[in-house]
């Protein structure tokens, strides 16, 4: 179990093999989740849950549901591996990283806000401004002498002023987009039950009605927040790059060619690119290329 998170983000942390984040139950109680790998199975973890007060059954169930969602416990990898073994470009990577699952956002709202903060800036700066936002509007809990923050609720960001965001180095447009996403959440336009079952094109169309959300962002969020592994963010330059490298032995392919390749992976396209990205980050050469 490994994570890649910004040190400035505050909501998610990963240190010494332990993943930590705060979630909020239906009563508004904050729960600190601490998960670490235990055993050999991909879903074998040790989970500790802590609150400032008494641990209720509601809080306990909320914590269990949250960690199962974040770590994709519901995702059965076996059908993906059956598909991958017959794909020359994917088979070696699927074998090497067997057990790898994508880490999910807690909600579409959180995923969209996170994506907007990362638009047209480097990840370090995105993490920094997001951290300022979290410290300003996120609720906090102090446990074992340390302060932990929950991601801000939509109603808090919807009431925020653009000028306050600007003081945190958000651009004016980016501040407006975050506020618009928060208002969309409050208006029920981010209904996750609907977004899970709508055809991909309809779900993308629903999300792109919101200012600041383009097709690439919408496709990424359907995968990263809702676990829709059939979606393929073919407009992403990074996706085009790994598809080009591992599937065609080229430096870059266009979106059309990338999507044609993804059709061969249906309904596991985003999971396939997750494995290719893992190989790319680890410096694994494409199949057939000399190491």
Q: In the Cβ-directed half-sphere of 86, how many Cα atoms lie within 13 Å? A: 6
Please give the Cα distance from 270 to 6 (Å, whole number). 23
Enter the tokens of residue 222: 């359907």
pLDDT at 289 over 70: no
Q: What pLDDT score was predicted for residue 9? A: 65
Please give the Cα distance from 201 to 59 (Å, whole number). 36
Over residues 146-165, the mean pLDDT reads 97
**pLDDT one-digit tens code per residue, 156-192:** 999 999 999 999 999 999 999 999 999 999 999 999 9
**pLDDT one-digit tens code per residue, 243-261:** 999 999 999 999 999 999 9
pLDDT at 193 over 90: yes
Q: Write down the residue that tokens 């990074």 correspond to.
A: 238
By C-alpha distance, which of 24, 34, 35 is closest to 59?
Answer: 24
By C-alpha distance, which of 225, 206, 228 is closest to 215?
Answer: 206
Where is mean pLDDT largest: 99-103, 114-118, 203-207?
203-207
Q: Are 162 and 97 in contact (CB under 8 A)?
A: no
By C-alpha distance, which of 50, 165, 196 is closest to 206?
Answer: 196
Please give the Cα distance from 66 to 110 (Å, whole number). 13
Residue 13 — φ and ψ, nearest 5°?
-140, 150
What confidence category does residue 290 fall into, taking pLDDT thresholds of 50, 70 and 90?
very low
Q: What pLDDT score was predicted for residue 37? A: 85
Q: Write down the residue that tokens 């980016």 correspond to.
A: 174
In DSSP notation, 39-59 reads: SSSTT-EEEEEE-SS---HHH
CATH superfamily to which 108-224 belongs: Hypothetical protein; domain 2 (1.10.340.30)
Q: What pLDDT score was predicted for residue 288? A: 60
Q: Which residue has the higher pLDDT, 176 or 15?
A: 176
**pLDDT one-digit tens code per residue, 58-74:** 999 999 999 999 999 99
Q: Are 71 and 12 in contact (CB under 8 A)?
A: no
pLDDT at 29 over 90: yes
Over residues 92-117, the mean pLDDT reads 94
Cis peptide before 110 (omega within 30 of 0): no
Strands 30-37 and 140-143: unpaired
Over residues 205-210, the mean pLDDT reads 97
In the chain, % of residues over pLDDT 90: 81
Enter the tokens of residue 3: 């994570």
The mean predicted confidence, pLDDT, of the chain is 92
In the chain, % of residues over pLDDT 70: 95
The string over 147-177, giving b where at least 16 C-beta atoms fall within 10 Å of a residue's C-beta and e elsewhere, is ebbbbbbbeebbebebeebeeeebeeebbbb
Over residues 135-154, the mean pLDDT reads 95
pLDDT at 197 over 50: yes
Q: What pLDDT score was predicted for residue 120? A: 86
**pLDDT one-digit tens code per residue, 107-132:** 999 999 999 998 888 888 999 999 99
Four-residue CA torsion sign, 259, 262, 266, 269: negative
Please give the Cα distance from 219 to 106 (Å, whole number). 16
Enter the tokens of residue 277: 């990205």
Q: Which residue has the higher pLDDT, 291 or 177?
A: 177
């Amino acid at each position: 179990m490994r994570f890649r998170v910004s040190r400035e983000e505050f909501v998610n942390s990963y240190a010494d093999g332990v993943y930590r984040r705060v979630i909020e139950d239906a009563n508004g109680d904050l729960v600190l989740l601490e998960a670490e790998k235990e055993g050999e199975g991909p879903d074998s973890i040790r989970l500790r849950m802590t609150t400032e007060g008494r641990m209720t059954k509601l809080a306990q169930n909320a914590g269990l549901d949250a960690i199962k969602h974040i770590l994709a416990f519901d995702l059965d990898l076996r059908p993906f591996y059956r598909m991958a073994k017959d794909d020359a470009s994917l088979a070696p990577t699927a074998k090497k990283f067997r057990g790898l699952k994508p880490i999910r956002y807690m909600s579409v709202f959180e995923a969209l806000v996170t994506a907007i903060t990362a638009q047209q800036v480097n990840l370090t700066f995105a993490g920094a401004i997001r951290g300022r936002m979290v410290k300003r509007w996120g609720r906090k809990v102090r446990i074992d002498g340390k302060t932990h923050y929950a991601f801000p609720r939509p109603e808090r960001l919807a009431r925020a002023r653009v000028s306050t965001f600007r003081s945190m180095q958000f651009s004016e447009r980016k501040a407006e987009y975050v506020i618009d996403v928060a208002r969309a959440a409050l208006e029920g336009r981010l209904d996750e039950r609907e977004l899970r079952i709508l055809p991909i094109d309809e779900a993308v169309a629903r999300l792109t009605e919101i200012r600041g959300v383009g097709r690439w962002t919408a496709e990424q969020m359907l995968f990263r927040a809702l676990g829709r592994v059939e979606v393929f963010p073919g407009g992403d330059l990074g996706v085009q790059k790994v598809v080009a490298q591992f599937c065609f032995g080229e430096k870059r392919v266009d979106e059309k060619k990338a999507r044609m390749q993804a059709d061969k992976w249906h309904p596991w396209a985003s999971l396939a690119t997750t494995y290719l990205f893992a190989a790319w980050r680890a410096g694994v050469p494409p199949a057939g290329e000399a190491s």
